[in-house]
A = this chain, B = another copy of it.
Amino acid sequence: MVSRIKRFLIGKPMKSTDIEEEKLGKLKALAVLSSDALSSVAYGTEQILLVLVAVGFAAVWYSIPISIAVLGLLAILILSYRQTIFAYPSGGGAYIVAKNNLGTTTGLMAGGSLLVDYILTVAVSSSAGTDAITSAFPSLHDYRVIISLVMIAFLTILNLRGVTESASILAVPVYLFVIAIFILIIGGLVKFVTTGFHGSVPELGTAVNNISLFILLKAFSSGCSALTGVEAVSNAIPNFKKPAEHNAAATLVMMGVILGSMFIGISFLAYGFGIAPDPKVTVVSQIAEATFGRGAVYYIIQIVTALILFLAANTAYAAFPLLAFMLAKDKFMPHMFKVRGDRLGFSNGIIMLGVLSAVLITAFQGDTEKLIPLYAIGVFIPFTLSQLGMMVRWIKLRPPGWTAKLIVNTIGMITTLTISLIFIFTKFHQVWMVFIFLPIVMFVFMRIYRHYTNIADELRINIERDKPQMKGSTIVIPVAGVTRVVLNSISYAKSLSDNIVAVYIGFDDEEIQKMEEKWEQWNPGVRLIVLRSRYRSVMKPLIRFIETVEWKTAETDHITVLIPQFITKHWWENILHNQTSLLIRAYLYNQKDVVIATVPYRLHR
């Protein structure tokens, strides 16, 4: 039943050799890996405006210079990450780069914050996508959390099915989104040329009371949320078709150009149309309404925006399991993240990502604005560490042209570090959790590593010296009567050893005497030991007996406890039988160094 549902949702298992066919071409990669970055356009401008209007509407003109600064930062990031791709063709996420060049601890810091960040990608994208829907259909506003959760469930299943199939489904909306936003920008510009600035719009350079450097930095750092997702390409190089690094670099540049033009276009239109953020209607929705009215084009733009946001979450579904796999391979995360599922995806990573982001959505009640600062700090910490790692690498290796590369990464490092510090400085009350959570994650990574290395040490044998040693064998069979199940177990035991003892635990004299007589009459060739339990417990006398046997023979013999067990035809019939044998098994398994063997007797009626 369960397995049939699984088949229906996830599809038939695939062979390991099918894996090459799952690789991504440039255009598909753009769809799978850049939806996170591109979709940031849907909320980036809004985050800048939210900070500025808090001072007064006159301050919105600052959004133009701030957007240009963000654009500059984007250019720096694209150049830096391009270098990373060529330096680490086997996948150069911040974790690998930081670990290789700055040491394990720094690598784990980058890896840990990226893992958290991917979970936040899913949470932020699905809640922002829900915002786009509820802007268009205000009556859905109360179902925000449920809509987000349904989308997360849908994405999880999609990804369990496997990468290529998801890519085919995902490619279309990403292209549609890019087309739709460009139509919006062109339509908006045409409208703007014919009507000019909205009456209320403050001129560029208008003096504003109360504006401070603090506010401007805060607005700038908020705008940087438009850059989240840029790192996805460099993490996922092994997913590309060959030549992987060239395809990845081309995809990265393509993405940067598209993202930059869309972001600056939206920012300009928001300024030109004099738009102020509204908690129930997104900025993009307002621009679309101002340009086309609430007609078919408006609704298409909203729906496509929602779609790409939901799919942006998909970037994390590609990146999170891969990072978890790398961490697991290095023994910092449980082995289970190394296992490929039936459809070749890292199922455990996919499922974990789905569950944790659903928890986040529920905890934050799907509030995009509150999730974004956490998300951005989670991105900029590994950005910084990755750039720093690249700097160290250039200084160490000094390949041809290393000084130019060092300069690019140094500029990248300084800007991302600055932005991280601005985040901490201006939004500490929203991001402090990261500084508690990150050390915990790193500590857990370390502990897991220690556990695995300890066990490996303990289980390692010396192939030359450690050989199997033969010993004697003593078999103990707890029996509850003279039945076919017991007959079965004794037949089995006699085939293995001559040293067998049956144990019977009785509660009163009459019972015991009857059993002894019956055993003698049957005479199966095995000695019966009878124990009397004054407290009606089977476990305690049996365990004491096994301890006695251990004390006498553990040196010379392997001790086996043979548990006769009949298995009912229907599972629910088990309630009609005392499950003493399960209790015995569980106790021995956890407490005693004896072999526990279950001899099944399957009932037919």
Contacts and interface: CB of A to CB of B under 8 A. Distances in A.
A440 interface: no
A194 interface: no
Given A491-B469, A535-B15, A463 B603 contact: no
Interface string A547-568: 0000000000010100000111
Contact of A598 (B469, B473, B573, B589): B589
A483 interface: yes
A212 interface: no
A138 interface: no
A329 to B, nearest CB: 14
A445 to B, nearest CB: 12
A116 interface: no
A467 B484 CA distance: 10
Contacts of A537: 13, 342
B536 A577 contact: no
How many copies the complex holds: the figure is: 2
Contact of A597 (B471, B487, B521, B560): B560
Contact of A605 (B455, B524, B567): B455
A485 B473 contact: no
A497 interface: yes
Contact of A536 (B340, B469, B487, B524): B340
Contacts of A576: 334-335, 448, 451-452
Contacts of A458: 484, 603-605
A522 interface: yes
A517 to B, nearest CB: 11
B455 A603 contact: yes
A495 interface: yes
A207 interface: no
Interface in A508-563: 508, 518, 521-526, 534-537, 558, 560
A507 to B, nearest CB: 6
Given A471-B491, A472-B495, A492-B558, A460 B448 contact: no
A198 interface: no
A293 interface: no
Interface string A447-476: 010011011011111010011111111000
A463 B466 CA distance: 47
B459 A484 contact: yes
A336 interface: yes
Contacts of A596: 597-598, 600
B461 A487 contact: yes
Contacts of A604: 458
Contacts of A294: none
B578 A336 contact: yes
B335 A578 contact: yes
B535 A14 contact: yes
Interface string A586-601: 0001100111111111
Nearest to A336: B578
B16 A335 contact: no
A560 B577 CA distance: 25
A335 B573 CA distance: 12
A6 interface: no
12 contacts: A336-B578, A448-B576, A454-B605, A455-B566, A461-B482, A466-B487, A467-B524, A468-B524, A470-B491, A473-B495, A492-B558, A595-B600
Given A15-B535, A495-B558, 14 more contacts: A13-B535, A342-B537, A451-B573, A458-B484, A459-B484, A460-B484, A463-B518, A467-B522, A468-B491, A468-B525, A496-B496, A595-B600, A596-B597, A597-B597
